[in-house]
Chains A and B, each alone.
Chain A
Amino acid sequence: MSSTYTLPVGPLHVALEEPMYFDVKVEGETVRAVELAAGHVHRGMEALAMNRNWFQNITLTERVCSLCSNSHPATYCMALENLAGIVVPERAQYLRVIADEVKRIASHLFNVGIMAHLVGFDSLFMHAMEIREIMQDVKEGVYGNRMNLGALTIGGCRYDIDEESKGFMLAQLNKLKPLVAELHNVYDTDPLIKTRTQGIGVLPLDKAIEYEVVGPVARASGVNYDVRRKAPYAVYPELNFEVQTDTAGDVHSRAMLRIREAVESVSLVEQCLEHMPEGPNQLAGFVQIPEGEAIARSEAPRGEVFYYVRSDGTDMPQRLKWRVPTYMNWEALQVMMAGCQVADIPLIVNSIDPCISCTER
């Protein structure tokens, strides 16, 4: 005799321990349907943004999300630069890419680390976090902060890299590279990881397109879309990197894709450090933001970040709207979770690298 019942999951302690409530319909141990209830930590940040001036909003947007915390001010500044026709000095564009990629490495390593924790492989989790610590040291050493870098300003960057910090960064990356390669190998071959993650939470290509998912979630399902390639910004057109894709679309392939992207990011930082020209790192003087509207996009660690800005010519935005990658990925959980086991729910939730504070802003 089979019967369906409702299992409440959340709002706390699902994967990343941010509050999201899942109303899961279960038959035995098998999930049949998922309904989401959000809004536990809504911060009204869009309303706040309309009460702060252009410069104050750099600080505000950086606090939308901790792991993508460089992508937000970067995309916000890009939207303003598009609107005002500001040409960012070339050195600053390199510095922006470096900050973005450093954050991407740390973010991806964090996510795959948590995956190991959810599988129950805690020594691997600690090892992944230890490797990530190398990047945390880079952030602390170069930017002075371990999470929010405070690297961006309108028309440039607030930090610069001298010879000493360049040497430090390169040394840290050299330390990181063999460890990430080793991590990749463990995730690829370990039987415990493979049993728990392969074929779990599958999102086929047609569903990925239908639900319009973005970032590693989309790319692991075969959608070849990376904003860095499709709508290039900063100095990405001049850099060599490969957009990582996969076709399996399961929890394992999303994790493996993130590790491969982290490897690409290491190479991107190295290329930037090598080719970065001399020159100013920001504009001299104050910029005026004219009346009008503009958008900007960038590829955050979790996927595409979108900013729309409307200015009425004053020093505060008339409207500032942003859409975060996770916003697009939630609904696809209904496909990924259908038919999965109750025990796999946290693993699948973590595999979209969810950010609740981003989603609810």
Chain B
Amino acid sequence: MNEIAQKILTDAVTTLLGEDSVHWTKDLKNNSYGWVKLCESGALELLAPRLAAARARLLTITAYRTDKYARVDGREIAYHFDLDGVVLTVSVCVDEDPPRVPSISRWFRNADWNEREFMELYGIKVENHPNPRRLFIDKDLDAGQLDKLIPLSTMMNGASTKTLWEKVFSGMDMPKWAKEAK
């Protein structure tokens, strides 16, 4: 059964991208993993309906920087599909300026949450997304939080505490010595 699913996935990819576009690995329990690299994000819109027609299931979507933190530019998104126990990972290069990819939630309903999540965490625009609201992160926060390295020391340098106490003290009738001490 594993081989059949593997062949269906291979066919779906190779009829679009040509032979050798998918690379297969196996783990020690003989589970197959397929790896595809798409250098143009537009091709995703052609591949997704083929995988959907093959009854593949979207497992999840992983967005990441190809470096770790803003040392060089470059984002990629890995789409993980499953067909009867065989997993196919399609890595897509993201067009820059502005970073954007097409939405695949037309073919995979559960892409909705995944796309909304990487929109807010990596600041990647998803074109034609039916419902591009924030999913987890509050709308007051900047998009692309996972693009940035914010050292803990910067985040917790006491600025918030000082502002807080200034507000507390300003509304209080306090002795002079206490105001000087703060």
Contact = CB atoms under 8 A, between A and B. Distances in A.
Q: Do A and B bind each other?
A: yes
Interface of A: 38-39, 42, 44, 46-47, 50, 82, 87, 210-212, 227, 230-233, 237, 293-297, 304, 306, 308, 310, 312, 316, 318-319, 321, 323, 327-328, 330-331, 360
A230 B78 contact: no
Give 8 closest A-B pairs by Cβ, nearest first. Answer: A230-B85, A323-B60, A319-B64, A39-B136, A321-B62, A231-B85, A212-B110, A42-B136
Contact of B110 (A295, A310, A318, A328): A328
A331 B110 contact: yes
Contact of B146 (A47, A233, A328): A47
13 contacts: A82-B33, A227-B85, A231-B31, A295-B33, A295-B89, A297-B87, A306-B59, A318-B64, A318-B67, A318-B68, A327-B113, A331-B110, A360-B136
Nearest to B134: A39
Contacts of A42: 136-137
Interface string B134-153: 11111000000110000000
Interface residues of B, number: 35
Interface string B53-75: 00001111010110110000000
Contact of B62 (A211, A297, A319): A319
**Majority secondary structure, B binding face:** mixed
Contacts of A296: 27
Contacts of B60: 306, 308, 321, 323, 327
Contacts of B172: none
Nearest to B35: A293
Given A39-B138, A319-B64, A327-B113, A295 B58 contact: no
Nearest to A79: B27
A32 B57 CA distance: 28
B136 A38 contact: yes
Interface string B19-35: 00000000111010101
A237 B29 contact: yes
Contacts of A212: 57-58, 108-110
Given A231-B87, A295-B33, A306-B60, A312 B68 contact: yes
Interface string B101-144: 00000001110110000000100000000000011111000000
A323 B57 CA distance: 14
B84 interface: yes
Given A39-B136, A306-B60, A328-B110, 17 more contacts: A38-B136, A46-B121, A50-B68, A82-B27, A212-B109, A295-B89, A304-B59, A306-B59, A308-B80, A312-B68, A318-B67, A319-B62, A321-B60, A321-B62, A331-B109, A331-B112, A360-B136
Contact of B28 (A87, A293, A295, A323): A87
Q: Which of A227, A230, A232 has the most CB of B within 10 A?
A: A230
A197 B27 CA distance: 42
A308 B62 contact: yes
Nearest to B68: A318
A294 B58 CA distance: 17
Contacts of A318: 64, 67-68
Contact of B145 (A47, A50, A312, A360): A47
B135 A38 contact: yes
Contacts of B145: 44, 47
Nearest to B5: A230
A326 to B, nearest CB: 11
B98 to A, nearest CB: 21
Q: Which of A318, A323, A327 has the most CB of B within 10 A?
A: A323
B59 A323 contact: yes
